[in-house]
């Protein structure tokens, strides 16, 4: 048996992260580039995306039956990412965390399975992150932050220390989150969206969109 590595999703993020997966694996072990593939459920037939073989999920399972299967879901919408992640687990496909060799992650940081840590990003000491976290390029997660499951940071997000970010939050490009304290961390509630370029100075409720500097509630999502 051999190990097969897949990125689930051929959108922009998936195509951006595939070279990072290749570099990540090259730094750790010997492997055949043919063992790297894409998964895209909209495909009816096998094809190639950026020179990588691409399968539907059913085709992936059938083609590599009996091998060790690993997958990272590279889809930004948390509802879809959660559904595809659960499908991988149900079919005994191991969740794979991709960390770019150009990212800096401190030893005392904890990162959940299925996460993507992009180039030129930093995760500082004593950060605790849930599963399937997407950290885009040029982001910074400072010390003592706690981040839930299926959270996404767009490029250039600055998350200062002592922040709690609950599940399913999306933070747009260039947003800045003010530092909390150990006794009173700043909290961003579940399912919320922080607009690109926003400056968050206080707690954000669950199920809202906030935008601006300082960030204010634009609407309620639920």
How remote is the C-alpha of 178 from its chain's centroid? 22
Residue 143 annotated to the active site: yes
- Residue 42: the pLDDT is 84
Over 4-63, what HEC string results?
Answer: EEEEECCCHHHHHHHHHHHHHHHHHCCCCHHHEEEECCCCCCCEEECCEEEECHHHHHHH
Q: What is the pLDDT along the chain (222 residues), one digit of tens a residue?
A: 899 999 999 999 999 999 989 888 887 666 777 899 999 988 777 799 999 999 999 999 999 999 999 999 999 999 999 999 999 999 999 999 999 989 999 999 999 999 999 999 999 999 999 999 999 999 999 999 999 999 999 999 999 999 999 999 999 999 999 999 999 999 999 999 999 999 999 999 999 999 999 999 987 665
Which one of the listed residues 3, 89, 104, 143 is annotated catalytic? 143
Model's pTM, two decimal places? 0.93
Just give the CATH number of 98-217. Answer: 2.160.10.10
- Tell me the fold of 3-96: Rossmann fold (3.40.50)
Q: Which residue has the tokens 């930004």?
A: 76
- Taking the domains of the chain in order of start, what are their residue ranges? 3-96, 98-217
For the chain, the residue count is 222
């Amino acid at each position: 048996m051999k190990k097969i590595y897949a990125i689930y999703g051929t959108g922009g993020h998936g195509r951006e992260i595939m070279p990072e997966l290749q570099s990540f694996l090259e730094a750790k072990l010997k492997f055949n580039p043919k063992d790297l593939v894409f998964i895209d459920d909209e495909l009816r037939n096998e094809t190639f995306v950026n020179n990588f073989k691409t399968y539907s999920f059913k085709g992936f399972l059938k083609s590599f039956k009996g091998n060790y299967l690993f997958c990272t879901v590279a889809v930004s919408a948390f509802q879809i990412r959660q559904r595809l992640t659960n499908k991988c687990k149900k079919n005994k496909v191991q969740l794979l965390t991709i960390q770019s060799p150009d990212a800096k992650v401190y030893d005392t940081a904890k990162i959940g399975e299925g996460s993507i840590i992009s180039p030129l990003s930093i995760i500082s000491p004593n950060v605790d992150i849930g599963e399937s976290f997407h950290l885009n390029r040029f982001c910074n997660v400072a010390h003592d932050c706690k981040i839930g499951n299926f959270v996404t940071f767009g490029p250039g997000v600055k998350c200062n220390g002592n922040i709690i970010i609950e599940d399913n939050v999306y933070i747009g490009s260039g947003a800045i989150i003010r530092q909390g304290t150990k006794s009173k961390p700043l909290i961003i509630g579940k399912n919320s969206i922080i607009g690109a370029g926003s400056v968050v100075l206080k707690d954000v409720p669950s199920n809202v969109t906030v935008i601006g500097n300082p960030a204010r509630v634009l609407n309620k999502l639920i």
